[in-house]
Amino acid sequence: MAYKTIIGLEIHVELLTKTKIFCGCLAEFGREANTNCCPVCLGLPGALPVLNKKVVEYCIRAGLALNCKISNRSRMDRKNYFYPDLVKGYQITQYSNPLCKDGYIKINTKHGEKKIRIKRIHIEEDTGKSIYDGNGNVLLDYNRSGVPLIEIVTYPDMNSPEEARMFLEKLKVILKYIEISDCKMEEGSLRCDININVIDEKTKLKSTITEIKNLNSFKAAVKAMEFEEKRHIELLKHRENTLKETRKWDENKNETVVMRGKETVEDYRYFPEPDLVEIEVDENWIRDIKENLPELPDNRKERFMREYNLPEYDAAVLTSSKELANFFEKTVKINKNPKQVSNWIMGNILRWINASDMDINEMKFTHKDFANLLELINNGKISNNIGKKVLKIMFEEGKNPEAIIEERGLLQISDVSELECIIDRIIEENKQSVEEYKNGKEKVLGFLIGQVMKITKGKANPQLVNRIILEKLKQ
């Protein structure tokens, strides 16, 4: 039997504004509980909201980057629900007329390019945070209440957890490029809700859509989708169905568990927010925001391929992070060898960054130090292998490459007479290997070169060693 999985996503993104969406409280993470609060974000009687213009600008920026149409007139709505993390018993959001509509992101699947449509992007306030203390008590921190969000709602265009992962990763890159969010999932800056069901393509039976709430890592999101996909297929196989419910991912059990029955639109009783006027967006403002958008990842990838003659894979890796792409371009301005810079970044720098679980901006050395290291290799001052050792020390200690080379005596040996003395000794000590080479066993050459590198602790110029040995073996 063939089954088709249908996935739609709702992504909540905290915006990088200094203050909250409707008041002047700081919108920052990590402060002592309930210290970034005021009568407005606590919803106290008589307190009136005032919309933060920067929130509207950031939403428009996201909409333009995600190929959306921008509404010239929109409004805020009141969404009613009674959870303790919202003191006033309702959330100010957008429902009937969001700021951004009808966008898309293109992803590259194994079947080719696929367009994932975005239904809407709207602004809203975040809720407070419930904290469970382990003794059955629920503590509430309202620092997050009123922090500005955009919610990005897709159409159900994804047909596998892998496609959803690709969409989420590309979306995260774009949001970071346009600098409206830090997208730190561990801090709740990017959270994902999943709507998933399955169709039996033979019988056309559909399972009921399940919502999975508040996934705060792509790994957890993929696991949750894979679990639900299998669960829905098993239900259909037995002519059963799931309830319309909201579930959450249990990391310890590696399964989704029921939270509650799924609310309907009617349950939220939306109506226009009476304390806020309509939002009017001038075309000139939209044009100004569009003109000030940075170069987006896909465009930058195409330019890297064209301008630096890089393979598509290299260009895709280098532009997967704005900071990484900037580091590459700054280095190339000095080094003038794009492919060498690309190879070292992808093969050495990224390996160290991933192993150290750090961001490229957290490295202890600059692009100038890195370009200098490559120049030392290209000028024959150090070998490629020594260069890798120096880079490791640069990561650990932050010193510039010349200082490391000088301190540790790592300069490459390129003195011909010195190398000849060492090579004469190696040939004398390995007469049998020399005879084997003369009898056609060319692999012995690598052994002899290795002996020289061993004695010189990798500092001998390998090209020079190779030439001298060959000359002496021909004598």
**pLDDT for position 415:** 63
Residue 360 DSSP label: G
**pLDDT for position 350:** 94
pLDDT digits (tens, 9 = 90+) for 389-419: 999 999 999 888 989 988 887 776 666 776 7
**pLDDT for position 428:** 73
pLDDT digits (tens, 9 = 90+) for 58-76: 999 999 999 999 999 999 9
**pLDDT for position 414:** 66
Residue 365, C-beta contacts closer than 8 angstroms, at least 6 positions apart: 394, 395, 398, 399, 400
What percentage of the chain reaches a pLDDT higher than 70? 96
- Report the C-alpha dihedral over residues 213, 216, 217, 218, rounded to 10 degrees: 40
* Average pLDDT score over residue span 183-190: 89
Residues of the chain with CATH 1.10.10.410: 416-474
Return the residue matching tokens 């037995």: 238
Pairing of strands 69-70, 271-272: unpaired
Which of 181 and 440 is assigned the larger pLDDT?
A: 181
Q: Phi first, then psi: give them for residue 349, nearest 5 degrees.
A: -65, -50
Closest CA to 276 of 114, 464, 77, 119: 77
What percentage of the chain reaches a pLDDT higher than 90? 62
For residues 403 and 428, the answer to whether their CB atoms sit within 8 Å is no
d(CA 117, CA 347) in angstroms, rounded, equals 35
Written as six digits, the tokens of 306 are 């064209």
* Average pLDDT score over residue span 424-440: 73
Alpha helices by DSSP H, 140-274: 161-177, 218-237, 265-268
* Average pLDDT score over residue span 362-383: 91
Listing DSSP states for 277-328 in one string gives PPEE--HHHHHHHHHTPPPPHHHHHHHHHHHS---HHHHHHHTSSHHHHHHH
Reply yes or no on whether the pLDDT at 437 is more than 90: no
* Average pLDDT score over residue span 136-162: 94
* Average pLDDT score over residue span 136-160: 94
* Average pLDDT score over residue span 75-88: 87
Residue 355, C-beta contacts closer than 8 angstroms, at least 6 positions apart: none
**pLDDT for position 100:** 98
**pLDDT for position 220:** 93
Strands in 100-109's sheet, in edge-to-edge order, are 69-70, 100-109, 112-125, 148-154, 3-14, 190-200, 210-215, 245-250, 255-261
**pLDDT for position 113:** 93
**pLDDT for position 323:** 95
Q: If pLDDT is split at 50, 70 and 90, which confidence band does 198 have? A: very high
**pLDDT for position 422:** 77
Using the CB atoms, write b or e for 218-244: b if 16+ within 10 Å. bebbbbbbebbbebbeebbeeeeebee
Reply yes or no on whether the pLDDT at 37 is more than 80: yes
Which of 348 and 413 is assigned the larger pLDDT?
A: 348
Reply yes or no on whether the pLDDT at 1 is more than 70: no
Tell me: domain 416-474, CATH 3.90.550.10, correct? no
Q: Which helix H or strand E contains 469, and what residues bound it? A: helix 462-474
**pLDDT for position 230:** 95
d(CA 77, CA 94) in angstroms, rounded, equals 5
Q: If pLDDT is split at 50, 70 and 90, which confidence band does 330 have? A: very high
Reply yes or no on whether the pLDDT at 126 is more than 90: yes
Written as six digits, the tokens of 70 are 């921008």
User: Mean pLDDT lowest for which of 287-296, 323-332, 461-470?
Assistant: 461-470
The one-letter amino acid code at 90 reads Y
* Average pLDDT score over residue span 219-235: 94
Written as six digits, the tokens of 320 are 């997967």
d(CA 442, CA 76) in angstroms, rounded, equals 78
Reply yes or no on whether the pLDDT at 167 is more than 70: yes
d(CA 227, CA 231) in angstroms, rounded, equals 6
Closest CA to 106 of 98, 116, 97, 96: 116
Alpha helices by DSSP H, 308-443: 312-318, 322-335, 338-344, 350-356, 367-378, 384-397, 401-408, 416-429, 431-438
CA distances from 122 to 48, 77, 108, 246 (A): 21, 11, 26, 22
* Average pLDDT score over residue span 120-134: 91
d(CA 13, CA 216) in angstroms, rounded, equals 11
Pairing of strands 190-200, 148-154: unpaired
* Average pLDDT score over residue span 448-469: 75
* Average pLDDT score over residue span 262-277: 85
CA distances from 129 to 13, 141, 145, 267 (A): 15, 5, 8, 22
Q: If pLDDT is split at 50, 70 and 90, which confidence band does 297 have? A: very high
Reply yes or no on whether the pLDDT at 91 is more than 70: yes
* pTM (2 d.p.): 0.86
Please give the mean pLDDT across all residues of the chain. 90
**pLDDT for position 82:** 77
**pLDDT for position 111:** 87
